[in-house]
């Protein structure tokens, strides 16, 4: 006899084309806002924060202190991934995505109204760090949540294309922030920039936040989340009943996220993340500084190459998503990683040849092959690897841990190796190693194209 308190798993949940468009807009907006906020902050840290928040120290120490406030955001991202990832798996994707966008937008806007060191002294940089922590805490689950929502909304035969919109959001945000700062630097004097001009990009983000929140409030919950049953001790029950059991166990959200069992799929996703995140740190971050400081190339040349490469990415990203839908995730991952390995040393030869055209060509293609193509595939494959009950948590943690290990540490390793060897070859070697890690993970992973995302168990 069935227990009357048990609930049968829900039937199929459908969404209209209008719902899908709104979900796509929501994912694109949120990711664009995340990367715009972080790019605004990173550029401000490099250009003005050392002068207005850390003026009583030497310029070098001021720059280090300003960049340190940038770095603390990455620590907060991991905490946000744990907290909001678990919450997204428990109470729904939509509620979490509204919260994360509010945290990111509000903290970014408040940075724009902060009093400077000249007004309130040491309290100014302390408040800057606090807002940076809040910003990172919200951002830690934003891209993972947007990825999960788009993958769960998308028609199964176009899942790669739809999920790739998350990757396009990163391009949009980075270009928007870079464009805003370029305009300010071009039209304002240094005095105007330091007194009030630096505040404008942060204040403008408020309008984007309001629009993004409006879109998300009118967005329906993920159909996969609504259809998903919960299983506790082998018994299928509604999410409300499962939540009651969870509360009786007296566990916190943070504790649950930290202790949640990580299976094979998590480590495969971490390996897939390594190639994209590691290559991104080298191509988009380290190479710009290396070319300017070591090879004495005008900083505007590699920066322009990144901008042009990002513009080309608006074609590359959806194209790779479409090819992944057509031929499968594994064949595309294998092709892209092998191409990156083959191009790593030729790319560095082009970049260091002394020709501006060759340098830009090398960086543009390196960015699109080794970073953006992998990002397009990652956006859908990592979501498909996980079961519906823990997808948000595991995806968020894989992205953030992979980002810290590869993107944050990689440029430091590259700087050390290039200094010791006096050559560029360690950069190419690291691109090869990162890509081979992703290639090995691809070989060990199952094909996930067309997988039923309502399934509770992981794909591996």
Is residue 71 predicted with pLDDT exceeding 50? yes
Is residue 59 predicted with pLDDT exceeding 80? no
The upper half-sphere exposure of residue 139, i.e. CA atoms within 13 Å in the direction of its Cβ, equals 29
pLDDT in the model for residue 257: 41
Q: How far apart are CA 317 and CA 334, in angstroms?
A: 16
Here the tokens at position 369 are 């092959």
pLDDT in the model for residue 237: 52
CATH numeric code, 17-223: 1.20.1250.20
Here the tokens at position 10 are 């829900």
pLDDT in the model for residue 224: 85
DSSP reduced 3-state for 355 = coil
Here the tokens at position 27 are 């994912």
254 pLDDT tier (thresholds 50, 70, 90)? very low
pLDDT in the model for residue 39: 72
263 pLDDT tier (thresholds 50, 70, 90)? confident
Question: Helix 373-385 crosses helix 123-153 at what angle (to 10 degrees)?
Answer: 70
Query: What number of other Cβ atoms are within 10 A of residue 36's Cβ?
Result: 27
Residue of 436, 342, 375 whose CA lies nearest to 167: 375
Contacts of 316 (CB under 8 A, 6+ apart): 368, 372, 373, 376
- Say yes or no: do domains 17-223 and 259-444 share a fold: yes
Here the tokens at position 187 are 């039209």
Range in 42-46, 89-93, 237-241, 266-270 the model is least confident about: 237-241
Is residue 376 predicted with pLDDT exceeding 80? yes
Query: What number of other Cβ atoms are within 10 A of residue 343's Cβ?
Result: 20
* Run of H or E residues at 344: helix 329-351
**Mean pLDDT score of the chain:** 82
Please tell me what DSSP assigns to residue 328.
-
Please tell me what DSSP assigns to residue 5.
T
pLDDT in the model for residue 238: 52
* Residue corresponding to tokens 């082009």: 350
Partners of 237 in the beta sheet? 230
DSSP reduced 3-state for 354 = coil
Q: How far apart are CA 255 and CA 253, in angstroms?
A: 6
Average pLDDT over residues 45-50: 71
Query: What number of other Cβ atoms are within 10 A of residue 110's Cβ?
Result: 18
Is residue 386 predicted with pLDDT exceeding 90? yes
Concatenated DSSP letters for 219-239?
A: PPPPHHHHH--EEETTEEE-H
pTM score of the predicted model: 0.81
pLDDT in tens, 413-453: 888 888 889 899 999 999 999 999 999 999 999 999 999 99
Residue of 97, 132, 120 whose CA lies nearest to 213: 97
pLDDT in the model for residue 61: 57
Question: Helix 329-351 crosses helix 356-367 at what angle (to 10 degrees)?
Answer: 160
Does residue 100 contact residue 142 with C-beta atoms inside 8 Å? Answer: yes
pLDDT in the model for residue 245: 55
Average pLDDT over residues 72-89: 84
Range in 6-15, 66-75, 270-279 the model is least confident about: 6-15
Alpha-helical (H) ranges within 92-198 are: 93-111, 117-120, 123-153, 159-163, 165-187, 190-192
Here the tokens at position 51 are 């002068």
Is residue 298 predicted with pLDDT exceeding 50? yes
Superfamily of domain 259-444: MFS general substrate transporter like domains (1.20.1250.20)
Burial 80-101 (b: 16+ CB within 10 A, else e): bbbbbbbbbbbebbbebbbbbb
pLDDT in tens, 325-349: 999 999 999 999 999 999 999 999 9
The domain locations on the chain are: 17-223, 259-444
Q: How far apart are CA 20 and CA 396, in angstroms?
A: 22
With a pLDDT cut of 70, the percent of the chain lying above it is 84
Here the tokens at position 209 are 């936040």
Q: How far apart are CA 71 and CA 88, in angstroms?
A: 26
Torsions phi, psi for 411 (to 5 deg): -60, -35
pLDDT in tens, 187-242: 888 888 888 888 988 898 888 888 888 888 888 888 888 887 665 444 455 555 55
Average pLDDT over residues 255-271: 71
Torsions phi, psi for 377 (to 5 deg): -70, -40
Is residue 73 predicted with pLDDT exceeding 90? no
Is residue 13 predicted with pLDDT exceeding 50? yes
Q: How far apart are CA 366 and CA 354, in angstroms?
A: 17
Does 245 or 149 have the greater pLDDT score? 149
Q: How far apart are CA 77 and CA 74, in angstroms?
A: 5
């Amino acid at each position: 006899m069935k227990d009357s308190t048990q609930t049968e798993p829900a039937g199929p949940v459908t969404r209209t084309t209008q719902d899908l468009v709104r979900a796509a807009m929501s994912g694109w907006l949120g990711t664009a806002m995340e990367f715009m906020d972080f790019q605004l902050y990173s550029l401000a840290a490099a250009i003005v924060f050392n002068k207005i928040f850390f003026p009583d120290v030497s310029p070098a120490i001021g720059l280090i202190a300003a960049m340190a406030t940038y770095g603390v955001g990455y620590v907060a991202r991991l905490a946000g991934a744990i907290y909001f990832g678990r919450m997204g798996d428990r109470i729904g994707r939509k509620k979490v995505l509204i919260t994360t966008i509010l945290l990111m937008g509000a903290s970014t806007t408040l940075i724009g109204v902060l009093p400077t060191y000249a007004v309130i002294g040491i309290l100014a940089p302390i408040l800057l760090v606090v807002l940076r922590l809040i910003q990172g805490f919200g951002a830690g689950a934003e891209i993972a949540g947007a990825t999960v929502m788009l993958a769960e909304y998308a028609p199964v035969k176009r899942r790669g294309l739809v999920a790739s919109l998350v990757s396009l959001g990163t391009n949009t945000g980075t270009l928007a922030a870079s464009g805003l700062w370029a305009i300010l630097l071009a039209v304002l004097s240094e005095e105007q920039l330091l007194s009030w001009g630096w505040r404008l990009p942060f204040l403008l983000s408020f309008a984007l936040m309001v629009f993004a929140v409006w879109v998300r409030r009118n967005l329906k919950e993920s159909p996969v989340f609504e259809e998903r049953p919960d299983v506790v001790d082998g018994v299928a029950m509604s999410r409300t009943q499962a939540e009651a059991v969870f509360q009786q166990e007296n566990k916190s959200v943070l504790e649950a996220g930290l202790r949640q069992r990580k299976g094979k799929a998590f480590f495969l996703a971490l390996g897939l993340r390594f190639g994209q995140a590691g290559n991104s740190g080298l191509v988009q971050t380290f190479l710009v500084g290396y070319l300017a400081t070591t090879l004495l190339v005008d900083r505007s040349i590699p920066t322009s190459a990144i901008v042009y490469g990002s513009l080309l990415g608006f074609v590359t990203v959806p194209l790779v998503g479409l090819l992944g839908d057509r031929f499968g995730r594994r064949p595309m991952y294998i092709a892209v990683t092998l191409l990156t390995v083959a191009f790593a040393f030729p790319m560095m030869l082009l970049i260091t040849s002394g020709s501006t055209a060759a340098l830009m060509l090398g960086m543009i293609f390196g960015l699109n092959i080794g970073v953006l193509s992998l990002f397009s595939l990652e956006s859908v494959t990592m979501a498909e690897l996980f079961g519906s009950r823990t997808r948000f948590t595991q995806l968020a943690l894989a992205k953030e841990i992979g980002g810290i290990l590869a993107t944050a540490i990689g440029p430091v390793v590259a700087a050390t190796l290039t200094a010791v060897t006096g050559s560029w070859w360690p950069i190419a070697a690291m691109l090869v190693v990162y890509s081979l890690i992703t290639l090995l993970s691809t070989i060990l992973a199952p094909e996930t194209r067309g997988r039923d995302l309502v399934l509770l168990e992981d794909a591996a």
